[in-house]
Amino acid sequence: MAVQLSTASSGADGKIASVYDGDTVTMANGQRVRLVQIDTPELGSGECYSRAARSTLVSLAPPGSRVDLEADARLDQRDRFGRLLRYVWRYGKSINIELVGRGAATPYFYEGDRGKYADTLMAAANLAKANERGLWKACPGTKLDPYGPVTTIRSGPPAKQRPPSGK
């Protein structure tokens, strides 16, 4: 589900320096950017699909690539950590929406605030879930709840079970 960037909505552009996790990048100027209106499993927490979400973002916006950043007047401009909250565009396509469409992210309407692409994000999520893309296949039981952060089961080997007591 591709949404094309209109020249009227493009914001400041820049170069990606690094990808931190599935929804956060650092720009060449040192500014950290949180992709707005989406959430991915937390890297380092052991959550299912966290590494794959980061890899998907790296493939869509690799270090060194040029991107456009778009602010949404309906939403906060920075989060509590000082990161810019932006839609990230590359080659005229929304990375935020692409991540959701591939099942690497879910919509997240923090504090119930719906941005300008909320309906498109929900449509992409519903399609990804119906087609079992990304985390929807890899992480059974994940709920689509755009009003809370995504929560997946922890990945890794299953917990060891105790052998029967022999009684």
- Domain total of the chain: 1
Q: Would 165 be classed as within a structural domain?
A: no
Write down how long the chain is: 167
Residue 4 lies in a domain: no
CATH number at residue 67: 2.40.50.90
Contact between 88 and 68 (Cβ < 8 Å) = yes
| Burial class for 18, CB neighbours closer than 10 Å (0-12, 13-18, 19+) | middle
Which amino acid belongs to residue 73?
A
Which residues, in sequence order, are CB contacts of 48 under 8 Å at separation 6+?
A: 41, 135, 138, 139, 142, 152, 153, 154, 155
Residue 133 located in a structural domain: yes
pTM metric for this prediction? 0.86
What's the domain range around 33? Answer: 10-138
* Cβ–Cβ under 8 Å, residues 31 and 102: no
Task: Indicate whether 3 belongs to any domain.
Answer: no
Helices (H), 4-105: 50-60, 95-101
Structural domain includes residue 25? yes
pLDDT in tens, the chain (167 residues): 554 444 334 445 799 999 999 999 999 999 999 999 999 999 988 899 999 999 999 999 999 999 999 999 999 999 999 999 999 999 999 999 999 999 999 999 999 999 999 999 999 999 999 999 999 999 999 999 999 999 997 655 444 443 444 43
